[in-house]
Chain A
Amino acid sequence: MEIIMAFVCGFLFMAAIYLILSRSLLRIIIGTGLLSHGAHLLILTMGSFKGSAPPVLTDGVTDYVDPIPQALILTAIVISFGVTAFFLVLAYRAYQELKTDDMTLMKGSEDHE
């Protein structure tokens, strides 16, 4: 199971990096989304898949999954939500002001030589 998940995470990272290296800003943001999915799945995998019951105390169950990675993922998810929301609004503003979403046109500046 861990092997499959490792491949899934690797594939997500690959897709994310491919998208982040592209020219369009929206594709880059989609790439960051995939990157954080990959990272979150990786935390889950690295916590290992031992245990069967969800980490909620119940009578007669002793075999719980590790609760720490789940808490970490939950934290990381809301943080990446916040950052992504900010990034999307920023991309919208930048599109309004700069009239482009092509990253190759977003270099240099008017007040520099």
Chain B
Amino acid sequence: MNNFLLLPVLIPFFFGMFLIFNQKRLAYQRITVMLGLILAIISATALVFKVYQDGPQTVTFGSWPAPFGITMVSDMVSALLVLTTLVLAFFIVWYGFESIGKERERFFYYPGVMFIITGVNGAFTTGDIFNLFVFFEVLLMASYLLIVLGGEKAQLRESIKYILVNVLSSAFFVITVAFLYSVVGTLSMADISLKIAEINQPGIITVIAVMFLMVFGMKAAIFPLYFWLPSAYSAPPIPVLALFGALLTKVGVYAIMRTYTLFFTHDLAYTHELLLILSIVTIIAGCIGALAHFDVKQIIIYNIVIAVGVILFGVAQMNQIGLEGAMFYLVHDMIIKAALFMLVGIVIYVTGTTNLRKMGGLMKTYPALGWFYLIAAFGLAGVPPLSGFVGKLLIVQGGFQAGNIWTSILILASSLVVLLSVMRIFIYAFWGEQGQVSKQVNKTVYHRMFFPTMLLVLVSIFYGVGTEWITPLMEEAAKILVEPSIYTDAVMKGGN
């Protein structure tokens, strides 16, 4: 049963293919997509338990010995991210039933979602650097479809920029892989790690490390490369935006995390110092953006940039605590960003505007929405019983342990800015005089949009309160990131 770890990749893929047929019949589309996601969630949950009990799972296609075939590796890091991806996709698709619009649903929206999940899960699971590129392209191609689907003017205009940026970064990825191949002569990630350790990271490998940082940084929106994100993400409809905001940048973060803990660990003074500086500047840039805007979507979009900076700060520490915090925060951030985009989507639906200045007084008419938004906002900022707390605590602890005192304090200060930016939405939209209200609010539609959102906020509360249960999994994940030999042994010796 070694192929078991492929199920979270294969199930969305096959269901995506089934969904291409009968695209006009909405009942078939909706039932099939939900069925596929539930099956995939079950398989991913089982995979997490399996990995927890038996250590990293590997399968090399075609029974070739390890460095010669394409290896798929499911360690704790990737298993957790795969599970989170599928759970989020489930809630976002459910939310989309009422808000994406029938025209889009009839025109390959659901296959697009399934293929984007195939790409994301594949990118999390693969153990081969060129295969990672291919899975990136799978998810990017699906994201091109989703960002432009509907064909509004703003979508057309922004998707041109989005595609151009991603074409550039993909070409750059190919170039970087070519350089890496010419130095180490292999493509399997475990084998690359071993070869780099053998030659003890000469200067050229450090150059390649920086090139990888640029490639993945462009996907993950780190500081000098985040310019495309705010405008591109403002174009698509809310469910697509939630999917992008929760998943796409996080794949880039994961790829940086993987390459910087597995490959480039011999010149920490240069590579990880660079990562540290960039993550700090990313946080500052995100904070400025989050405070500058009066558009609800833009505020949350800039919060993505801040969170990417925080996670990468945890990665840059390269100690057990910092990496454990980064893992905690990564999963938390995926959940909470999806929840916030969904909540903000409801706010936009009931007010009919994205402009904060025109909103007001929603607390009287929609108290439940207000309270759940408040919980999500506190969760994002990291107020203790909620989900953002443990991750940031561990990241800051890791920062202190590694001797980065001032930068760690800056991380704490950024939480205040995050809290301020999301509380501003709360104050403007929910308090005060009655503001603009949309004419065509339908109560059933509202409830149908609110229910999955509420469940997702509850999931995030559970993630915060149930930290004790999740900690062993995260410790396991951090151990693999700190100790690359566990990963390479699992792959090269066939694992189990």
Report A's interface with B, CB cutoff 8 A. 20, 25, 28, 32, 35-36, 38-40, 42-43, 45-48, 68-69, 72, 75-76, 79-80, 82-83, 86-87, 90-91, 93-94, 97-98, 103, 106-107, 109-113
Q: Which of B1-9, B164-172, B193-201 contacts A (4 or more CB under 8 A)?
A: B164-172
Interface status of B57 (Cβ within 8 A of chain A)? no
Report B's interface with A, CB cutoff 8 A. 130, 133-134, 137, 140-141, 144, 148, 151, 153-154, 156-157, 159-161, 163-164, 167-168, 170-171, 174-175, 177-179, 181-182, 187, 234, 295, 354-355
Are B160's CB and A90's CB within 8 A?
yes
Are B154's CB and A109's CB within 8 A?
yes
A10 to chain B, nearest CB (A): 11
- A–B Cβ pairs within 8 angstroms, 22 of them: A20-B164, A25-B160, A42-B174, A42-B175, A43-B177, A46-B178, A46-B179, A48-B182, A72-B174, A79-B170, A82-B141, A83-B140, A83-B141, A83-B144, A83-B167, A86-B163, A87-B167, A91-B160, A97-B153, A98-B156, A107-B157, A112-B295
Residues of B within 8 Å of A82, CB to CB, are 141
Instruction: Please report the C-alpha to C-alpha distance between residue A32 and residue B455 in the assembled complex, in whole angstroms.
Output: 43
B139 to chain A, nearest CB (A): 12
Q: Which of B153, B160, B163, B171 contacts A35 (CB 8 A)?
A: B171
* Contact (A46, B134) CB under 8 Å given A20-B168, A83-B141: no
Interface of B is mostly: helix
Instruction: Please report the C-alpha to C-alpha distance between residue A58 and residue B46 in the assembled complex, in whole angstroms.
Output: 47
Instruction: Please report the C-alpha to C-alpha distance between residue A112 and residue B137 in the assembled complex, in whole angstroms.
Output: 31
Closest-by-CB residue of B relative to A2 is: B182
Interface of A is mostly: helix
Instruction: Please report the C-alpha to C-alpha distance between residue A42 and residue B175 in the assembled complex, in whole angstroms.
Output: 7
Residues of A within 8 Å of B161, CB to CB, are 106
B444 to chain A, nearest CB (A): 27
Instruction: Please report the C-alpha to C-alpha distance between residue A107 and residue B295 in the assembled complex, in whole angstroms.
Output: 17
Are B160's CB and A39's CB within 8 A?
no
B118 to chain A, nearest CB (A): 15
* Contact (A98, B153) CB under 8 Å given A32-B167, A90-B148: yes
Instruction: Please report the C-alpha to C-alpha distance between residue A38 and residue B137 in the assembled complex, in whole angstroms.
Output: 18
Q: Which of B141, B164, B167, B181 contacts A69 (CB 8 A)?
A: B181
B213 to chain A, nearest CB (A): 18
Q: Which of A28, A98, A107, A109 contacts B164 (CB 8 A)?
A: A28
Closest-by-CB residue of B relative to A28 is: B164
Seed contacts A38-B171, A91-B160, A106-B157; 16 additional CB < 8 Å A-B pairs: A20-B164, A20-B168, A36-B171, A42-B175, A43-B174, A43-B181, A47-B182, A72-B177, A76-B174, A80-B167, A83-B141, A86-B163, A94-B160, A97-B153, A103-B160, A109-B153
B156 to chain A, nearest CB (A): 4
